């Protein structure tokens, strides 16, 4: 930072360069006045920078004890962590649960490694020395509001789940600690970037599923009941699809993102991952609601005191239909209007078997009494381009230098200690091997942010097209209660070969988000549920789960939960189309 005693001539030369870069020259007689004005601003900034930092007490991890004293953590051993799904292990319970809702009493929860838990390292999936000047991972001093809510609800946080490098991958092979394996088939992707969160839930799901069928149960380490995920392009929903669990990207602004490592505020979402529709609804009731900090929230965001109890509402809806005699395999979906999104079946790389599984799932809705019809939203196929044009120019700045921040007016929560060092050659070499999407984000961001090439009007236009895209889905949702589509083009593929060139790695790491990323910019909620199985490529007999995405109106998660629960009256997705002989 520049000293107030900086040489006057050097300072005025700097101002002249700034003026010239903006296309004007200062008149000599004006320079002293402008110099004084900038000096005054500089003094204000440096005075504030010298002040003791302020952390809002509402984010304090424990009113009675220091988090660094009361919380411990450990690195899991390889034998404890065969899937590499754990980043760190811990055991944290709220010290004072008076007034707790108890919705998660006794349940275990994993927190994604982009979400601050005071006293426990946070790596965002990368090497510690890329985040701070040291060899140890930064240790947050706050609990994110979603962490506080988990503890308030009576849960036990048993660890931090592995995530992808800088959370910028939809596969599970880029973390600095190594790939996260799919619990259903080792060596295959668990999806990203909430890879560890999905794998830890699926660990329990797969063990229970195999045991119920008399199949061998491989030890995959300790799993969890619930996990927090983050989603900027599909990072909750893709892992849910690959791992055969349930993952919800809520409406934008429904769940607070405060303190969580950001990619870009418009697309930042935090949400629940669980092993059933009802558990997903219950976990959302714990996480949702205004927090007083996050500018992503809007007047539509409910206050905590009036957050819908989604699981209770679902129970009531099921009870009412049961009483009426309609909660049955032929009538459970009566009254629901299901739209099959036509363009979602036209994305690049869609496997014919995955498409067939989703069409069969749609047919089940018909059997269940729903009105089912195809609906067209042509702009869906342009959505990935709109996503990129609206977000990419500023993503690198948020990704590397302003983690935890969101806008200039929101409270940023940087890592304690020194600022993150600037990327260097070693950083580039490592990222090119592990996750070239991060390097690509920097290069494309800087290129697109050059106003001589792309003035702000270009991004402004892209934002208008975001609203056009939202309006297109909203129009479709006037005629239908929900839209359904394949969550991913294929089942989970094998991990990316590390010797693959950059041109091959880039699409591999992100091409599975074509049906998920559109709803990050529009803010519509999307739930992924397992609806069947698909053959693994390469002639193997193994099968892996296929996920269906159910998209609803903004702030209407309840209808999504009802549609998902109704679909499962016809049988659970993991029981659908499985031939035991192919195990």
Q: Is 580 a catalytic residue?
A: no
Q: Which of 112, 249, 505, 553 is catalytic?
A: 112
Q: Out of 161, 172, 195, 235, which one is annotated catalytic?
A: 235
Cα gap 191→202, rounded to integer Å: 12
**Residue 398 per-residue DSSP state:** I
The span from the CA of 42 to the CA of 536, in Å, is 61
Contact call for residues 99 and 131 (beta carbons, < 8 A):
no
Q: For the packed helices 557-568 and 310-323, what is the interaxial angle rounded to 10 degrees?
A: 50
Residues 89, 76 contacting (CB under 8 angstroms): yes
Inter-helix orientation angle 557-568/277-287, to 10°:
160
Considering 161, 175, 189, 193, which one is annotated as catalytic? 193
In terms of DSSP H, where are the helices of 324-424? 352-367, 383-396
Contact 290, 297 (CB under 8 A): yes
**Strand, helix or coil for residue 429:** helix
Q: In what order do the strands lie in the sheet with 108-112?
A: 73-74, 86-92, 156-161, 108-112, 226-231, 269-274, 246-249, 526-535, 543-552, 482-486, 337-341, 371-375
Q: Taking Cα atoms as reference points, which of 126, 125, 113 lies closest to residue 427?
A: 126
- In angstroms, rounded to a whole number, what is the distance separating the alpha carbons of residues 545 and 536? 10
- Known catalytic residue at 193: yes
**Catalytic residue ranges:** 112, 193, 235
């Amino acid at each position: 930072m520049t000293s107030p005693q900086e040489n006057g001539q050097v300072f005025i030369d700097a101002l002249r360069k700034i003026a010239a870069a903006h296309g004007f020259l200062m008149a000599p007689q004006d320079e002293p006045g402008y110099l004084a004005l900038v000096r005054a601003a500089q003094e204000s900034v440096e005075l504030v920078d010298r002040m003791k930092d302020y952390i809002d007490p509402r984010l304090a991890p424990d009113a009675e004890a220091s988090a660094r004293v009361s919380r411990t953590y450990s690195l899991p051993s390889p034998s404890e962590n065969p899937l590499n799904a754990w980043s760190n292990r811990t055991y944290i319970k709220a010290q004072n649960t008076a007034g707790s809702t108890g919705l998660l009493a006794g349940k275990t929860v994993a927190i994604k490694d982009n979400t601050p838990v005071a006293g426990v390292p946070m790596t965002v999936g990368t090497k510690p020395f890329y985040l701070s000047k040291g060899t140890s991972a930064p240790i947050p001093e706050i609990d994110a509001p979603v962490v506080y809510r988990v503890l308030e609800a009576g849960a036990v946080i048993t660890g931090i789940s592995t995530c992808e490098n800088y959370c910028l991958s939809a596969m599970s092979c880029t973390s600095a600690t190594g790939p996260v394996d799919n619990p259903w088939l080792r060596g295959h992707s668990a999806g990203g970037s909430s890879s560890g969160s999905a794998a830890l839930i699926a660990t329990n799901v797969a063990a229970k599923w195999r045991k119920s069928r008399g199949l061998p149960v491989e030890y995959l380490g300790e799993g969890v009941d619930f996990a927090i995920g983050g989603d900027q392009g599909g990072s909750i929903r893709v892992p849910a699809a690959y791992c055969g669990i349930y993952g919800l990207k809520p409406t934008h602004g429904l769940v607070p993102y405060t303190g969580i490592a950001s990619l870009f505020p418009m697309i930042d979402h935090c949400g629940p991952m669980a092993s059933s529709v009802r558990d997903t609804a219950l976990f959302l009731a714990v996480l949702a609601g205004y927090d007083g900090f996050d500018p992503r929230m809007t007047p539509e965001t409910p206050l905590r005191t009036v957050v819908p109890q989604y699981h209770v509402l679902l129970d009531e809806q099921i009870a009412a239909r049961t009483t009426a005699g309609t909660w049955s395999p032929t009538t459970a979906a009566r009254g629901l209007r299901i739209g099959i999104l036509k363009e979602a079946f036209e994305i690049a790389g869609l496997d014919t078997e995955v498409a067939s599984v989703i069409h069969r799932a749609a047919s089940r809705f018909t059997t269940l009494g729903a009105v089912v019809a195809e609906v067209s939203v042509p702009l869906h196929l342009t959505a990935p381009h709109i996503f990129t044009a609206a977000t990419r120019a500023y993503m690198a700045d948020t990704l590397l230098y302003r983690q935890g921040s969101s806008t200039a007016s929101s409270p940023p929560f940087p890592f304690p200690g020194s600022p993150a060092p600037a990327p260097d050659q070693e950083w580039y070499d490592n990222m090119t091997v592990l996750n070239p999407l991060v390097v690509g984000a920097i290069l494309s961001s800087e290129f697109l942010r050059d106003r001589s090439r792309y003035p702000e009007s270009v991004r402004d236009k892209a934002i208008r097209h975001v609203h056009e895209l939202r309006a297109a889905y909203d129009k479709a949702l006037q005629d239908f209660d929900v839209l359904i589509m394949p969550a991913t083009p294929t089942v989970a593929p094998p991990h990316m070969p590390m010797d693959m060139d950059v041109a091959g790695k880039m699409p591999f790491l992100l091409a599975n988000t074509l049906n998920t990323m559109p709803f990050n910019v529009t803010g519509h909620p999307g739930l992924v549920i397992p609806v069947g199985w698909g053959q693994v490529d390469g002639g193997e007999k193994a099968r892996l789960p296929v996920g269906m995405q159910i998209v609803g109106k903004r702030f209407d998660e309840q209808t999504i939960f009802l549609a998902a629960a109704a679909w499962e009256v016809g049988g659970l997705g993991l029981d659908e189309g499985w031939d035991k002989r192919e195990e």
